[in-house]
Amino acid sequence: MSTQKIENTITHFHKIYKGQLNKFLELLKVPSISTSENNKDDVLKAADFLVEELEKLTFKNVKAYPTQCHPIIYGEHMGSPDKPTLLIYGHYDVQPPDPLAQWHSQPFEPQIRDEYLYARGSSDMKGQIWAVLTALRAIFESGELPINIKVLFEGEEEIGSPSLDEFLETHKSMLKCDLILNPDAGMLAPNKPTVTYALRGMAYFELQISGPKADLHSGLFGGTIGNPANILCELISKMHDDQGKITLSGFYDDVRCISDQEKIDLAKLGVDKQFYMKTTGVPELAGEAGFSPVERVYTRPTLDVNGLYAGYIQEGAKTIIPAYAMAKISCRLVPDQDPEKIHQSLKSFLEDTVPEAVKWELKYLSGAPAYLSEPKGTWFEAYLKALEETWGVTPIKKRDGGSIPVATSMKQILGVDSILTGFGLPDDQIHSPNERLHLPTHKKGIEALIRFFLSI
């Protein structure tokens, strides 16, 4: 594709930008929270919105495939029989917006303040899907798409993609492709376009400790009843030693250590103590002894409590021994840890450690191994070039601490690598109150996608 053609397309994109942004706000208004039963219809509504948009973009065989929870959307644009096929992945479901009180504007009433668009899903990842669709619209309205594109947008990413693997297995030939573009991985900073080549996996659990049949008066019974809340705290506390190491038996057995060269490369990224402290506002960092902050986040497994509940948590005092206590606990995993082995290890820990005074139940909510794949080949080079031409800097190739289990699934089932990228920023507050999208970065991202789609 000629440079002139590309520049014309980008010029056209700038003309349609405002209209596309307004349409995007409509998508953000739909509270497609996949984890909540109450929002099932909203997730469907978001799916319908995308199906309609794909059809307008002249995609063929567009369909929302029903699953046990939320549909998987597929569509294809196969206008270039001799050219390679790119499968683009996205998810249109979002995280719950809690705690609501901490939002400065409503999570599903998008608001632009300064250079940011605030809304749940704006960055993770409706904004990334919209970048793809906007780039394609600019191309279709300016000329022709020189490659074949298939899209797969799921509505269950935030609940661990329970239907995806089966869908990939069942639709292998429909999904046949040469490479996958997965823009769910983000970039390091507004001036640091990024491709990610390794991600952490995940194992997510819910642990319930039950004691008395109902909340008890802490005066009439306190002293001889094992308090489920105290016991839960004790169990969680025992899951780490004083060096920040996780104590579950065999937890580190399969961890692949990184090379000295990679340690050196990681140290150069600028993702340092100052970066983490400034981004998060914590008074001091913590973590596993013997590793730098960026090594801990990109290359080491974790065990974090994501939620805790027991007893009375409203204002004031209530003097009870809670009937039960609950913790949501998740482990981020690294190559080559096996989520099921981690599950079994946690189970053994509980079998050995929970005192007789209480009962316990462990639910294994979801699990996925880590992902690792060196970026190389024509397509990778073309994508890196598109980033470089757009930003005027050498793109960064890096690991990431997050989890995109779909990349692992697609590699395992379709046998295809993913370009893990995207235009979200570390301070977009994804999964947190006041999630936002940096609009100038997002705009550059769309330009980069246009360059990439037209460059093969």
Q: Does 190 bind its own copies (CB under 8 A)?
A: no
What is the identity of the amino acid at 68? Q
Name the minimum Å distance from CB 220 to its own copies. 5
Site string for its own copies, 341-380 (x = CB under 8 A): --------------xxxxx-----xx--------------
* Contact call for residues 232 and 223 (beta carbons, < 8 A): no
281 sits near its own copies (criterion: CB under 8 A): yes
CB 167 within 8 A of CB 67: yes
Structure tokens at 307: 């939620």
Q: Between 145 and 232, whose beta carbon lies closer to its own copies?
A: 232
Query: What count of Cα atoms within 13 Å lies in the side-chain half-sphere of residue 207?
Result: 29
x/- site string to its own copies, residues 32 to 71, per CB under 8 A?
---xxx----------------------------------
430 part of the interface to its own copies, by CB under 8 A: yes
The tokens describing 347, both together, are 């189970």
Query: According to the binding rule CB under 8 A, does residue 393 interact with its own copies?
Result: no
Complex with its own copies: residue 228 or 375, whichever CB lies closer: 228
DSSP-derived secondary structure letter, 259? P
List the alpha helices (DSSP H) in 143-202: 164-170
For its own copies, give the closer residue by CB, 21 or 365. Answer: 365
In terms of phi and psi (left: phi > 0; alpha: psi -120 to 50; beta: otherwise), the region of 192 is beta
Q: Considering only CA atoms, which of 289, 290, 288, 299 is closest in space to residue 265? A: 299
Among positions 47, 131, 202, 342, the unique one binding its own copies when judged by CB under 8 A? 202
Q: How far is the CB of 168 from its own copies (least distance, A)?
A: 21
Q: Does 226 bind its own copies (CB under 8 A)?
A: yes
Nearer to its own copies, 263 or 431 (CB): 431
Task: Name which of 13, 282, 234, 318 is nearest 135 in CA terms.
Answer: 13
User: Which of 80, 61, 217, 97 has the alpha carbon at shortest distance from 146?
Assistant: 80
**How many residues belong to the site for its own copies (CB under 8 A)?**
102
Contact 103, 434 (CB under 8 A): yes
**Which residues 149-178 are close enough to bind its own copies by CB under 8 A?**
158-160
d(Cα 372, Cα 378) in Å, to the nearest integer? 19
DSSP 228: H
Residue 85: CB minimum distance to its own copies, A: 30
The region of 106-114, 175-183, 231-239, 341-349 touching its own copies under the rule CB under 8 A is: 231-239
Q: How far is the CB of 230 from its own copies (least distance, A)?
A: 5
For its own copies, the closer of residues 202 and 258 by Cβ is: 202
Residue whose CB is less far from its own copies, 400 or 417: 400
- Considering only 20-28, 127-135, 164-172, 432-440, which stretch makes contact with its own copies by CB under 8 A? 432-440
DSSP for 27-69, written as a single string = HHTS--BTT-GGGHHHHHHHHHHHHHHHHHTT-EEEEEE--SS
Question: Which residue is listed with tokens 């349609």?
Answer: 16
Establish if 262 lies at the interface with its own copies (CB under 8 A): no
Q: What would the x/- binding string for its own copies be over residues 295 to 334, using CB under 8 A?
A: -xx--xxxxxxxxxxxxxxxxxxxxxxx--xxxx-x-x--
With binding defined as CB under 8 A, does residue 252 bind its own copies?
A: no
Is position 227 an interface residue for its own copies (rule: CB under 8 A)?
A: yes
Q: Inter-axis angle of helices 228-238 and 339-353, to 10 degrees?
A: 130
Tell whether residue 433 is a contact of its own copies (CB under 8 A): yes
